[in-house]
Amino acid sequence: MLKVGLTGGIGCGKSTAANLFADLGAPVIDADRISHALVKPGAPALLQITRQFGPDILAADGALDRNKLRSLVFSRPDYKKQLEAILHPLVYAEMQRMLQTLHYPYVILCIPLLLETKMQHFVDRILVIDCSVEQQINRVKLRNRHSEDTIKAIIASQIPREQRLSAADDIIDNSGDTTKLAEHIKKLHNLYFSLGKNQN
């Protein structure tokens, strides 16, 4: 089975692209969804995170207060490394487990931090969804209501755009509308399906 790592900067449209692949019948494993599941109240990963960063990162109902954790992590690079050391091995282990259950010519592994975690070897091919930094900022503002400074800090914490593009096997320029994106996805779906069948 061909493993395609789908990645891109914040606000570039990774989730939309992953959903379009899913609409065409491709299995999608999403690192963010796994990460969310790992930090549900009572989950071992949340207990580890609370031990590491203190009970202040929890909301009144015992759930993770993501905004508090994000502010904390972006204010201290060493905190970011500590959080990643807890979460990333668990996320990749769960992805590996899910891969064993699939039977399809290819799979989309939606991993926003694929290159940042230096896990290129986990996939056979890298697909980057790309758009300009201005578009990233505008889209995230509309979606998350973050301040421009927060969005810029998130972008700065990710791998530089040029480096991401140079690591890609396939690039989709997602500066247009969803119709154009869907056309690109359909072409790549046919390519990946064919490559995956030939790989078996």
pLDDT mean over 169-197: 95
pLDDT mean over 57-85: 86
Question: Contact 126/168 with Cβ under 8 angstroms?
Answer: yes
Identify the CATH class of 1-27+106-200: alpha beta
Question: Contact 131/175 with Cβ under 8 angstroms?
Answer: yes
The band of 200, judged by pLDDT with boundaries at 50, 70 and 90, is low
Architecture in CATH of 32-101:
3-Layer(aba) Sandwich (3.40)
User: In which region does residue 154 sit, left (phi positive, over 0), alpha (psi from -120 to 50) or beta (all else)?
Assistant: alpha
Nearest to 109 by CA among 173, 166, 27: 27
Return the structure tokens found at 162: 């040029």
Domain ranges within the chain, ordered by starting residue: 1-27+106-200, 32-101
- The terminus-to-terminus CA distance of the chain in angstroms comes to 7
Common-topology check for domains 1-27+106-200 and 32-101: yes
pLDDT in tens, 125-159: 999 999 999 999 999 988 887 788 888 888 888 89
Interatomic CA distance for residues 16 and 12, integer angstroms: 9
| Mean pLDDT, the chain, whole residue set | 92
Model pTM? 0.90
Q: Residue 109 pLDDT more than 90? A: yes
DSSP secondary structure letters along 169-182: SEEEE-SS-HHHHH
Q: What is the pLDDT of residue 75?
A: 78
More confident residue, 30 or 43: 30
pLDDT mean over 70-78: 81
